[in-house]
Structure 1
Amino acid sequence: MNIFQRRRCSVDLDLEQDYISNLPKNLKEEVLMKLPIKEAIRTSLLSTKWKNAWMLIPNLVFTEDCSQSTLIRLVDIVLSLHYGPILQFKLIRRHACNEAIGRWMLILSRNGIKNLYVKLGSFVEKCIIPSSFFSCIELEDVLLYYSIIHVPPSFLGFKFLRTLRLFSCNLTGITVAKLISSCHLLESLELDGIVEYGRLVIHAPNLRWLSFTGGFVDLCLETPKLLFANIFLDCYQNFTMPSEDCKSNILQVLGILSAIEELQLCSEIISLHEEEGYPSSSLAQSFWEVKGIESDLFNCLEIVKILNFEYPASILNVAKFVFCAAPVLEKLVIREESYFDDLKDSVAFLKQLASFPRLSKMAEIVFVE
């Protein structure tokens, strides 16, 4: 058999055979999940075997560009006709849909929802997360945007939740703390645009990955297994001076991160302003005081990144602190900024930076743009 005969045999299909109707169930599901929800519903017209196929898909994604009333009607129809587990529910629209989100969450809580991604509303019009959300006890991954969240007193936690991401949400430090501490398996946490000028305690014994951007007067991490942290506190922080019996105020803010391997500090977490109403630069010096620090505070830390810092003195304070506390440090990465007006100041800065003793013999300084 030559190559042309083989090719002809490979595409020799029985044209009377209804291949589409007889697709295996798992292949139908794959096809349906790759279609927009409206198109998935239209497949019911293909044949009797496809008529109810869309009602069984476990992943529901709503990203249609339509009016609020049309979106609510679409979601209502899909959820009312769907049967079987709903493992993923994704809803992205500029409308808050507060009049409907409650009944949607109630339906999801009864259908084993595991992955929930809700991006409704905007900075101006936010989505009010209903109490039925906290009945979704099988959740493993949650992403919420522009939401107002109130944790009910009876909430006992999401015992399967491993990933939590909150963006531009309204909730207090106490609410965040309760939500996080109630999720004992939580491994990945991202809080972005969370502004509430109080104390935030993140108690998560299994947390491995943390990214925090927001405003709190005091931040405390109780995360012994944390491997990566990206922390960006806004400029309204009011760190207190370390007391005489406290070895370093960094312990109060970052906790004891004995397992951390990569630490990224951004902007005002150490860039303390000298302007009226802000702490003085002398506080930045005290904040990173290295006297009496344990040499193994960061005994797994390999990479530290210093980004968007405003003052060279702050960089020097952090570098000195890290060099004294990280025995296996490999890289201290500093983003280059225009800190100096003349070459003389720049050379003096580099000399002082290079002169700091390093607990790790492998530690090197890397400048990036």
Structure 2
Amino acid sequence: MTEEVPSRRSCDRISNLPINAIDDILTRLPLRDAVRTSILSRKWRYAWAKVLKLTLDESLWKDLSTREVRVKLGRILLHLFSLRQGPIKECRIFIPKSKYFPEVDNLIFFLSRNGIEYLVLELPKGEKYKLPSSIFTSSKMRHLTLQYCVINLPTTFQAFGKLLRLQLFNVSISEKHLEKLISRCPLLENMELDISNPLNYIQVNAPNLKFFNFGSKIISICFKNTPLLAELSIMADNVNHGPVELIVGDDVNRDFVERGTCNLVEFFGSLPSIKNLRLENFIIKTLIAGIDEIPMKLPMPLLNLKKIYLFDICLSGVDDIRFLLCLIKSSPYLEEIVIINEAINNERGDDLTAFKVLEAEYDSGIKLNRLTKVRLIDINGTKAEMEFIKLLLATSPVLEKMMISPFYIGPESPQTLVEILMQANTFQRASPRAVVNF
């Protein structure tokens, strides 16, 4: 009895795959390879045209000139416009070469009309791409990432009513339009902003915002309606154009900076849910400038604050120390402190005054009952710095680890290292488990 040979039709497993499996395969392929699957069988011929995800990534433009990129992009659009079936929910667009392509306008218009929910537009450095108004008609947008663009909101813009995440990197936008954009995303939960043009002041109105990373030049920022904001980072040093200057020649009104649009009490009063906080010294200065005297403690305790990360704060500066003490004493459940010290000036005249302010805290009954980790970076051994270390060790009963990174300034640094280590080891420790490491 001869064994029956399976027919070719029964062996064609590729053609017999279920539609959802085909879709899953195609979404994982670059567009070029997805289109090539049309030759596999009749069932696969136009399957790529129904896939919900579209990726125009680096592989499409490898080793192509600007002209060749433009021609290829035109062909891709022709296929999309003529063969596309159904919505495109997710799209990542990477366009190389610093050249403006009208074809990108057409693609964004097409996506806006086809139910786009997740859009990432990555453009190269150079002249920024002026974002077309059609993108603001995408009522289903849930995630929007833009890079190297110019944004001018059209007067007809109503809202991104479903947007949950907004990322703007090296984007140019006015203060007025930025405020309007944020306030018209009522469900926004996650926001990362790197605005390339300097800003004077913005007001953040985002009732569902939980995470906010702001890395742009700005003088003052106010949180009007952010009851759920748990993670906040304002670090201008994160951006490529360098740290912000509080007063930049004639570009910024000096009275505006000195007055402080949003002061210390107002700022933290608008952050009842704050859990992790990262601030650079430039924003601290503006918060302090808005009040006559830095309070010993905020009117409202920061009951959710667990971690503070302060960059470029001077532990030998009186105002900086008073701000730091105010923040610490207002945070009863603080668990971790990370400070990058401004150690560029070892002989500041207010070091002794800052030392005395810290010394007086021993009589204030300060207790950091939840603090377990401390990291101090760029310490150079001034009286105020060492007194701050001593205060933390004496008032933190559950402290586990304190990391101290000295500021290296020359051949004398090893000696400074030894002096800091020897002095720190003489300080009384409230926690029997506390370890000081370098």
* Shorter-chain TM band: 0.7 to 0.9
Identity, % of aligned pairs? 27
Q: For residues 288 and 161 of structure 1, do their structure 2 counterparts lie closer, same or farther at Cα, with a shift above 3 Å needed?
A: farther
Q: For residues 19 and 259 of structure 1, do their structure 2 counterparts lie closer, same or farther at Cα, with a shift above 3 Å needed?
A: same
The answer on whether the counterparts of 2:265 and 2:299 sit within 8 Å (CA) in structure 1 is: no
CA distance in 2 between counterparts of 1:262 and 1:34 reads: 36
Q: Which has the higher contact order (CA 8 A, sep 6+)?
A: 1
Of 56, 61, 73, 2:55 maps to 61
Deviation at 1:196, TM superposition (A): 2.8
1:1-369 paired onto structure 2 within 5 Å: 16=8, 17-63=11-57, 64-65=60-61, 66=64, 67-80=68-81, 81-95=83-97, 96-122=99-125, 124-222=126-224, 223-233=226-236, 234-237=243-246, 240-241=257-258, 249-253=263-267, 256-270=270-284, 289-291=294-296, 293-296=298-301, 298-309=302-313, 312-313=316-317, 316-335=321-340, 345-346=381-382, 348-352=384-388, 354-355=390-391, 366-367=402-403
Q: For residues 307 and 118 of structure 1, do their structure 2 counterparts lie closer, same or farther at Cα, with a shift above 3 Å needed?
A: same
Would you identify which runs of 4 or more consecutive aligned residues in structure 1 move more than 6 Å? Answer: 283-288, 356-365
SS of 1:217's equivalent in the other structure is strand
Deviation at 1:292, TM superposition (A): 6.2
Deviation at 1:250, TM superposition (A): 1.8
Of structures 1 and 2, the larger Rg is shown by: 2
Q: CA RMSD in A?
A: 3.3
Q: Which TM-score applies when normalising by structure 1?
A: 0.81
Q: For residues 345 and 147 of structure 1, do their structure 2 counterparts lie closer, same or farther at Cα, with a shift above 3 Å needed?
A: same
- Give, as a single letter, the amino acid of the residue that structure 1 aligns with 2:49: M
CA distance in 2 between counterparts of 1:285 and 1:351 reads: 28
CA distance in 1 between counterparts of 2:345 and 2:38 reads: 67
The answer on whether the counterparts of 1:227 and 1:260 sit within 8 Å (CA) in structure 2 is: yes
Q: For residues 288 and 54 of structure 1, do their structure 2 counterparts lie closer, same or farther at Cα, with a shift above 3 Å needed?
A: farther
CA distance in 2 between counterparts of 1:344 and 1:92 reads: 46
**Would you say how many aligned residue pairs link Structure 1 and Structure 2?**
342
Q: Where do 5+ consecutive residues of structure 2 fail to align?
A: 237-242, 248-255, 348-378, 406-438
- Give, as a single letter, the amino acid of the residue that structure 2 aligns with 1:327: P
Deviation at 1:242, TM superposition (A): 6.1
Q: Where do 5+ consecutive residues of structure 1 fail to align?
A: 1-12, 273-278
The answer on whether the counterparts of 1:324 and 1:358 sit within 8 Å (CA) in structure 2 is: no
Q: Which residue of 2 aligns with 1:6?
A: none
SS of 2:216's equivalent in the other structure is strand
Deviation at 1:198, TM superposition (A): 2.2
Q: Which TM-score applies when normalising by structure 2?
A: 0.69
The answer on whether the counterparts of 2:91 and 2:116 sit within 8 Å (CA) in structure 1 is: yes
CA distance in 1 between counterparts of 2:12 and 2:293 reads: 72
Please say which of residues 95-104 and 161-170 is displaced more in the overlay: 95-104
Deviation at 1:73, TM superposition (A): 1.4
